[in-house]
Structure formats: C-alpha cells, structure tokens
Amino acid sequence: MRLMFVGDSMTIGSAGDLTWRYRMWQHLCATHGGPFRIVGPRDALYEPAADAPVSHAYGAPGFPENCRVHLAGWGEGWFHMAPLIHDAVRTHRADTLLVSLGLIDLGFYTDPQQTADNVRRFFAEARAASPRVQAVLLPVLPNVRALGDPAFAAQCEDFNELLAKTVADLDRPGSPLLLASPPPHWDVTLDTYDGTHPSPHGEHRLAAAFADAMHQGWGIGEPYDPA
C-alpha cells in the first residue's frame, strides 16, 4: 500500500503540531500487518511567521522524515488539488488516498455544487494517472464560522450531501471510494485549538475516522485505539 494524505490546513498542520498524519502512521504501524509506504510531493508544515509551508518542526521527533510526506496545503482545497493530483499519483505511484478537503473551498472559492464538480475532476485526474487508485474521503467538519454563520453552516451541510452522492456515483470495482463517518459530536472547543485546526484530541479523532473506514470497508488494520 502506497498511501498519500491529501488535505488542507487541518492535514498539513502548523509548526509544532503532531498532525493526524502522525497518528495515522502510528496506527498503521501497530495494526496494518503488511507493508505500506507514505508517499507525496511535500513534507513541510505551515509556518505562521513566514506565512508559508517551510517548517519541519514536527511535534513528534520520532515521526520518520520519509513518513512525513503528503499533498496538503494551508488554504488549499479541492479547487487547488484537482489540477495537482494526476502528477502526484503518477510520480509517487500512490494507490490509496486519504482525503480531507472542502472547508476552504466553501469558505473562499466555490459553492457546494462547484466544489462537488471539483471532486469529480479530482478523481478523473487521479484515475487517469492510476486506474486502480482507491480513496477514503472525510466530509467537511463545520468549524467555528459555521457556528455563527447559518448560511455557511448550510453550505457545509449541502456539500456533504453532494459529496455522499458523488462518492456513491464514482465508486466502482477496482477503484473503490469510501466515505468516512465524521467524528460524532465534533466539538470545536475540545477537538480544535482555534475553532478549525485539530488539537491533539482532534488529531486522534480524525485519524480514527479514516482508520475505522479502512478497517470496515477494506479490512485494513484494526479499529482505531487512541491509547
């Protein structure tokens, strides 16, 4: 398994973060029972002082450098990743994508239908690079803005409905797509440190969403154990 993390600021992480990518790596090391490799074209964290992805100060020094790679970006969404995924999958021979995108699209770039259209473009490009690529997708988790902006909250809800329909439509034998269940009762005061980005507690819950989907859908690994 050649696994690529694809995501926005919640996935790339900021300087000093452990990241849910680290939690997922730990989980797979403990439970997968077979060879796997994390692949991707980037390896840095976002550095707020530089406003750029230039930090390598991971909160977990034991996270091996070759496992820190990803295709994630601060402020990037489906809109940005759709043009990049073909080359990333082809160059790094990724066969499994763990994708957490959409919040930034809805916040700044596209409406729910346009965002869903970019999901379709993303997988058309990924499959053009590797027809047997498989993926787990996480629905958008409403952030603090959604709590105070009913219109934005409705957009998140509308997109998640479209995402579920899109995944069902695009799922196919030989290139399966799974829609992960969002962490139940996601709490921005406990699961994030600023209303959007995951705290250590939230990192575990994000990793669990992907790990449990892979276990239930494909028999990969075991159910996620935060301990």
For the chain, the domains span: 2-218
Q: What is the pLDDT of residue 216?
A: 97
Q: Is 176 helix (H, G, I), strand (E, B) or coil?
A: coil
| pTM, 2 dp | 0.97
Kindly tell me if the per-residue pLDDT of 227 is higher than 80.
no
Give the model's pLDDT for residue 226: 77
Of 5, 1, 77, 75, nearest to 41 by C-alpha is: 5
What is the residue-averaged pLDDT of the chain? 97
Write the CATH number of the domain with boundaries 2-218.
3.40.50.1110
The mean pLDDT of 164-186, rounded to a whole number, is 97
Give CA separation, 110 vs 9, 114, 126, 165, in Å: 17, 6, 21, 18
Q: Is the pLDDT reported for residue 171 higher than 80?
A: yes
Region 162-167: mean pLDDT is 98
